[in-house]
Amino acid sequence: MNDTYKDLLSPYTFPNGTQLKNRILMAPMTNFSSNPDGTVTEDEVNYYARRSKGVSMVITACTFVTPNGKGFHGEFAGDRDEMIPSLKQLATAIKEQGAKAILQIFHGGRMCPTELVPNGEIVSASEVAATNSTNIPRALTESEIEEIIHAFGETTRRAIEAGFDGVEIHGANGYLLQQFFSPHSNRREDRYGGSLEKRMTFPLAIVDEVKKAVETHADSSFIVGYRFSPEEAETPGITMKETLALVDRLADKDLTYLHVSLNEFFSLPRRGVEDLSKTRIDYILEAINNRVPLIGVGSIYTAEDAKKALSSGVALIALGRELIIDPDWVQKVAEGKKDEIMTKLHKDKQEELVVPDPLWNAIVNTPGWFPIA
């Protein structure tokens, strides 16, 4: 192994004592490849197994916690106990290759396609359509909100029973938790909306509920992470300043890690902070102030990219698209073969890369999403 990259391959121990074999993990990515009944397919299991050997941890695509939270075609389900055997297949396939298996749990809110949710009725914090959508959601009642909070705890219990090593609460990318935090989508005037503090109520209640489920059903080694997006383009919308306030609260929640969702690791803030030339990662690390580990992500392809990202002060690096392009990324770095790492997708390599048809078709038919050779 080249000493230049030894930090990437050094073990890491979370505050709860759980150890990872290196600093590289697989980022959560939707793969559109589950069965219509919400069970995982063999293709999906093989896809994860192919990418679980080198990395220390795999965060799965999101699973929905209630029927009206299904956000994608071909998304696997975590909303009922009948799904535990299906979830177990996934956890087992990842763990057998030596990686920790983390189930990402979520509710799509107003981003759900109407054809995927009961009666075609989408729900959110308020009756505000998403940008570029004409679908106006129905505002959730307080009792429905409480049911969804409870459902996050129940899906966590299912993850534990299925053998997962942890869960990641999906509070990013415009889905329901972010919809409650955002002044764009949350115009409520009850305890779940209004002030910045009240807009944090729902996501923080979910954190508490998930942790309660872990205390009841798992031991202290079980991982609980939280993923967030730093800003929104809309006005009104989440600003960097508001996110730093949320991060400050999350950092005191005794979570195993925080995970920022970024397209570009070193991207700069849009607004809400004084110095717009300082990276979002730098701002977030300052707000955390060593209270909880941060996972960074975003357009990291080469070993050099990852080394530079790790030197920013994040604890761990998540690779998304790059692990689809080259599932052997970590092994190549470990064997001193970094120059053999593929950083562009070869359209004739689907079989070798073990990518299910629905995901492959989405990749090759979405211009600009992946670098294509």
Q: Whole-angstrom Cα distance, residue 125 to residue 127?
A: 7
Q: Whole-angstrom Cα distance, residue 336 to residue 264?
A: 26
- Going 331 to 90 to 71 to 66, the CA torsion angle's sign is negative
280: phi then psi, degrees, rounded to nearest 5: -60, -40
Q: Whole-angstrom Cα distance, residue 326 to residue 158?
A: 31
**Concatenated DSSP letters for 310-363?**
HTTT-SEEEESHHHHH-TTHHHHHHTT-GGG---SB-TT-HHHHT--HHHHHHH
Is 12 annotated in the active site? no
Measure the CA dihedral 258/64/197/239, to 10°: 70
Q: What is the H or E stretch that residue 53 is in? A: none
Length of the chain: 373
As a whole number of angstroms, the longest Cα–Cα distance in the chain is: 58
Give residue for tokens 């695509």: 61
221 contact partners, CB below 8 Å, separation of at least 6: 16, 17, 18, 165
Contacts within 8 Å (CB) and 24+ apart, 145-149 = 145/192, 145/202, 147/66, 148/65, 148/66, 148/69, 148/107, 148/176, 149/202, 149/205, 149/206, 149/209
- Pairing label, strands 12-13, 19-20: antiparallel
Catalytic, out of 175, 192, 226, 283: 175
Give residue for tokens 């109520």: 201
What residues are labeled active site?
Answer: 175
